[in-house]
A and B are shown apart, each in its own frame.
Chain A
Amino acid sequence: MDWYPLINSVRIAAISCVIVFFTGIFAAYYAARLPRVLKGFLDVLLTLPLVLPPTVCGYFLLMLFGLRRPFGMFLAQYGIKFVMTWYGGILAAVLTAFPLMYRTARGAFESFDETLAYAGQTLGLSDTFIFWRIRMPACRQGILAGAVLAFARALGEYGATSMLIGYTPGKTATISTTVYQLWRTNNDALAFKWVMVNVAISALVLTTVNMLEKQDRKAAAK
């Protein structure tokens, strides 16, 4: 069995999870500080990929990064091609997983007691310190949940990925595109193996999260 799809899927999911983690948190943090109208507009825009069919997201990505499009051509001059490359998968995964991180982080930030930040400011603590040492720990449950959801979504991404990077064995194949390809070519037995691999990874991720949460509760109770 060729393990390339597993490696590719995990690296795409891991890298996009890191990207989405930071961009989602900062978008959530700054969006909350915008004037109401702008905030509403931005909110719709940033959440859109969650409700759009992934193929539509893929379509937009191709419109932007397609090799005959101006921006895609511009990037290609520097040897950066998101079409039919494994790292194009990161783009697809980031776009579809971002709203999950953004929404959950925003929810967590909204329930944060703002007086804690004010208290920090009057004590002379820097805003960076307040963000990383007071706000983030207080919101860690929601943010952790968001990161896990984003990782899971990135791992399972199919629609946008298949449109942007297609399926090339040993190059752009991910678990989900491989499952489809194997099933299409009547290789049910192998498809089933990959399905089990996917189930195993998802179960592992969820168990890890549950354990982290349990530890967290224990630490808080101490």
Chain B
Amino acid sequence: MSLTVDIKKRLGNFCLDVSFNINSGVSGLLGASGSGKSVTLMCIAGILKPDSGKIILNGRALYDSERNIDLTPQRRRVGYLFQNYALFPDMTARQNILCGLHKEKDKSKKERSLSEIIEIMQLRGIENNRPKQLSGGQQQRVALARILVGDPELLILDEPFSALDSHLRSQLQVEIQKLLKRFGKNTLLVTHSRDEAYQLCSEIALLDAGKIVIRKETKQLFADPESRQAAYLTGCKNVIDAKKAGEYEVDVPDWGLRFTASRPVCDDLCAIGVRAHYFNPKAIQNRFSVRLTDEIEGQFEYIVQFRYKDQIDDSQDIWWLMPKEKRMEQFRGELGVSPANIMLLYG
């Protein structure tokens, strides 16, 4: 399977200009709210019409401004799981699912597909309830069942867990992951949560202010986000201006320090990023004296802010997240960072 998206769309002051392609498996579109995620999805599903460009799904043009193609949402075969699930309030769960099967004219086949999906989605016993009487998790399963019975070519999940209580979220993530594997549907997951993206997607495209910043395999992206924006979007709390100082060395003027990286530094380096988890009291390399300025105790970790000894006054405090088992005993006024954890950022 393949999905190629290359579209432009202007909405008031906001300008969406995205271009990416995704292959098989679960791909993620990660971005803050207002970055254009929903607009992109709606264009793919045919709910919104782009100003120009093309959308090709498995070689089939869903939209192509040059060839004047613009399929209706009905003909795109793109399943869309809305944030609020969009179950039809005046129909039972069963009737909702039947809406996804309306093309099937053979009655016995229809019944078979229906009871099959009810079984898989564990909806037996609640199929005659209205959406209002279902829990958030059940609603999500009904909405998914309704989409999957229609056998779409592409599945779009729009912030699928944002409407749920946090204690349900991880449980449902596991459930969804299993379902996605089982159905083998190619999926585009949209989220503003780095954790969700990391856990569910094999590759991720980062979206910021209507543009794709970077698209990479998930683990590589988190290890080497390449740019400041991408570093922020993948949750890096410490990003600071830096200059090349040697083949493996970078100067950080604001911190008054020189760091060693594990990879060669290019000339156009402009910043480095260090994730808050990566400071380590026991690391030997990139080890410098620090002064703690603030400390909050979380459930599993301490959230600490600190400054380097010669750090200039108007620069920001640095974040350090320290797992509790590594408690202060190991801390002797110095923190180090492994060279592999110095992220080199260009642009």
Q: Which residues of A contact B (CB under 8 A)?
A: 113, 115-116, 118-126, 129, 133-134, 137-138, 220, 222
Contact = CB atoms under 8 A, between A and B. Distances in A.
Q: How large is the interface on B (under 10, 10 to 19, 20 to 34, 35 or more residues)?
A: 20 to 34
Contacts of B88: 116, 119-120, 133-134, 138
Given A118-B82, A124-B103, A125-B99, A138 B74 contact: no
Contacts of B84: 113, 115
Contacts of A134: 88, 90
A125 B72 CA distance: 11
Contacts of A220: 130, 132
Contacts of A137: 89-90
B259 interface: no
Contacts, number: 67
Given A123-B99, A124-B74, 12 more contacts: A115-B82, A115-B86, A116-B88, A121-B46, A121-B74, A122-B46, A123-B79, A124-B102, A124-B103, A126-B74, A133-B91, A220-B130
Contacts of A121: 46-47, 72-74
B146 interface: yes
A123 B82 contact: no
Contacts of A129: 102
Contacts of B146: 123
Contact of B73 (A113, A122, A133, A138): A122
B80 interface: yes
A125 B102 contact: yes
B76 interface: yes
Contacts of A133: 88, 91
B200 interface: no
B207 to A, nearest CB: 20
B100 interface: yes
Interface in B6-49: 42, 45-47
A128 to B, nearest CB: 12
A189 B88 CA distance: 55
Given A134-B90, A138-B89, A118 B99 contact: no
Nearest to A136: B90
Contacts of B42: 118
A113 B86 contact: yes
Interface string B58-79: 0000000000000011111111
A134 B308 CA distance: 62
Contact of B86 (A116, A125, A222): A116
Nearest to B72: A121
A122 B79 CA distance: 6
Contacts of A126: 74
A61 B72 CA distance: 43
21 contacts: A113-B86, A118-B45, A118-B73, A118-B80, A118-B82, A119-B86, A121-B72, A122-B45, A122-B78, A122-B80, A124-B100, A124-B150, A125-B99, A133-B88, A133-B91, A134-B90, A137-B90, A138-B90, A220-B130, A220-B132, A222-B130
Interface of B: 42, 45-47, 72-80, 82, 84, 86, 88-91, 99-100, 102-103, 130, 132, 146-147, 150
B157 to A, nearest CB: 13
A220 B131 CA distance: 10
A93 to B, nearest CB: 31
A124 B150 CA distance: 9
A134 to B, nearest CB: 5
Contacts of B75: 124
B46 A123 contact: no
Nearest to A119: B86
A31 to B, nearest CB: 21
Contacts of A120: 88, 99
A122 B72 CA distance: 9
A118 B158 CA distance: 13
A119 B80 contact: yes
A123 B100 contact: yes
A124 B47 CA distance: 12
A122 B89 contact: no
B277 to A, nearest CB: 38
Interface centre among A113, A118, A119, A138 (most CB of B within 10 A): A119
A138 B130 CA distance: 13
B85 to A, nearest CB: 8
B40 to A, nearest CB: 15
Interface centre among B42, B45, B82, B90 (most CB of A within 10 A): B90
B89 to A, nearest CB: 6
B132 A125 contact: no
Contacts of A123: 79, 99-100, 102, 146-147, 150
Contacts of A119: 80, 82, 86, 88
